């Protein structure tokens, strides 16, 4: 359902709650296409697997269908709304972690491309209740020494948007900080390989594998023992 909460002082979000009524919290951060039907559907998939999934709308209701329009929306969001976007994300974390349906004290964050950069930024902050971070095709260097999170990374084999150098720097930062991180590279894939609405990049087999690994990782963190209900995008 769409969430409009004046206390959060931000545009509509999308939240999906499992049929059981409760579950661990997962914050889903969309790529530069915006909070489109794919990411809303992804929240539904998380809820089908027992998670309470909340996706903040970082573009205030706008979505992009082309690279040019996505660049424009991202530029607008990062140039004129950087502080509001930060406040929006913090508000979303606070809302999700205190939601009556959420059964854990800590939450997980799953970020895609642009959303992955935000997820890595959030994971560096020890005051936030983030215990697990899943990144799809994004690399952002930083200081992770105070992070309370474990990390799972999904990288494309051929990615024009994520350089090998940036991935190397990220790995070095996490290793220096002594953080638990797992990395997976998917042969024959490119950026956005997980997003089924990106026909030029979607790779069904790789997406299914990444989805299964993500659920396993999150279930380990949340100590859920129920098997996944929907484990494939194919």
> Average model confidence (pLDDT) for the chain?
87
Report the distance separating Cα 216 and Cα 204, nearest Å. Answer: 18
* Choice between 226 and 101, residue whose per-residue pLDDT is larger: 101
**pLDDT at residue number 132:** 97
Beta partners for 185? 155
3-state secondary structure the chain: CEECCHHHCCCCEEEECCCCCCEEEEEEECCCCCCCHHHHHHHHHHHHCCCEEEECCCCCCCCCCCHHHHHHHHHHHHHHCHHHHHHHHHHHHHHHHCCCCEEEEEEEEEEECHHHHHHHHHHCCCCCCEEEEEEECCCCCCCCCCCCCEEEEEEEEECCCCCHHHHHHHHHHHHHCCCCEEEEEEEEEECCCCCCCCCCCCCHHHHHHHHHHHHHHHHHHHCCCCCCCCCCCC
**pLDDT at 225 exceeding the cut of 90:** no
**pLDDT at 71 exceeding the cut of 60:** yes
Query: Do the Cβ atoms of 120 and 135 come closer than 8 Å?
Result: yes
**What is the percentage of the chain residues whose pLDDT exceeds 70?**
86
**pLDDT at residue number 226:** 53
Q: How many CB atoms lie within 10 A of CB 166?
A: 15
Query: Do the Cβ atoms of 132 and 109 come closer than 8 Å?
Result: yes
**pLDDT at residue number 10:** 42
Report the distance separating Cα 92 and Cα 143, nearest Å. Answer: 23
**What is the percentage of the chain residues whose pLDDT exceeds 90?**
68
User: 195-222 pLDDT, tens per residue?
Assistant: 999 889 899 999 999 999 999 999 986 6
Q: What average pLDDT score do residues 5-11 get? A: 42
pLDDT band at 4 (very low <50, low <70, confident <90, very high): very low
Domain ranges of the chain: 2-222
Say whether domain 2-222 belongs to CATH 3.40.50.720: no
pLDDT band at 228 (very low <50, low <70, confident <90, very high): low
Written as six digits, the tokens of 31 are 């790529």
pLDDT band at 5 (very low <50, low <70, confident <90, very high): very low
User: 147-205 pLDDT, tens per residue?
Assistant: 999 999 999 999 999 999 999 999 999 999 999 999 999 999 999 999 999 889 899 99
pTM of the model: 0.90
Tokens 């939601």 -> residue = 99
Q: What average pLDDT score do residues 7-24 get? A: 79
**pLDDT at residue number 41:** 94
Q: How many residues does the chain have?
A: 234
* Choice between 230 and 87, residue whose per-residue pLDDT is larger: 87
Sign of the dihedral defined by the CA atoms of residues 200, 215, 136, 14, in that order: positive
Report the distance separating Cα 191 and Cα 203, nearest Å. Answer: 10
| Helical axes 82-97 vs 114-123, angle rounded to 10° | 70
User: How many Å separate Cα 230 from the centre of its chain?
Assistant: 18
């Amino acid at each position: 359902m769409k969430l409009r909460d004046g206390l959060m002082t931000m545009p509509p979000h999308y939240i999906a709650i499992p049929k059981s009524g409760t579950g661990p919290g997962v914050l889903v951060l969309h790529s530069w296409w915006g909070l489109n039907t794919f990411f809303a559907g992804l929240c539904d998939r998380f809820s089908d697997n027992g998670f309470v999934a909340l996706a903040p709308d970082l573009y205030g209701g706008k979505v992009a269908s082309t690279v040019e329009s996505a660049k424009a929306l991202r530029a607008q969001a990062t140039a004129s709304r950087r502080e509001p976007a930060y406040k929006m994300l913090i508000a979303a974390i606070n809302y999700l972690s205190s939601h009556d349906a959420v059964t854990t004290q800590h939450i997980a964050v799953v970020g895609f491309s642009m959303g992955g950069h935000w997820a890595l930024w959030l994971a560096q902050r020890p005051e936030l209740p983030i215990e697990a971070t899943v990144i799809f095709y994004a690399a952002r260097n930083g200081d992770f020494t105070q992070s309370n999170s474990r990390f799972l990374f999904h990288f494309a084999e051929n990615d024009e948007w994520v350089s090998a150098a940036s991935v190397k720097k990220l790995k070095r930062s996490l290793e220096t900080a002594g953080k638990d991180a797992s990395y997976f590279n998917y042969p024959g894939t490119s950026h956005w390989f997980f997003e089924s609405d990106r026909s030029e990049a979607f790779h069904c087999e790789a997406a299914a594998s990444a989805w299964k690994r993500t659920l396993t990782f999150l279930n380990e963190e949340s100590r859920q023992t129920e098997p996944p209900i929907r484990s494939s995008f194919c």
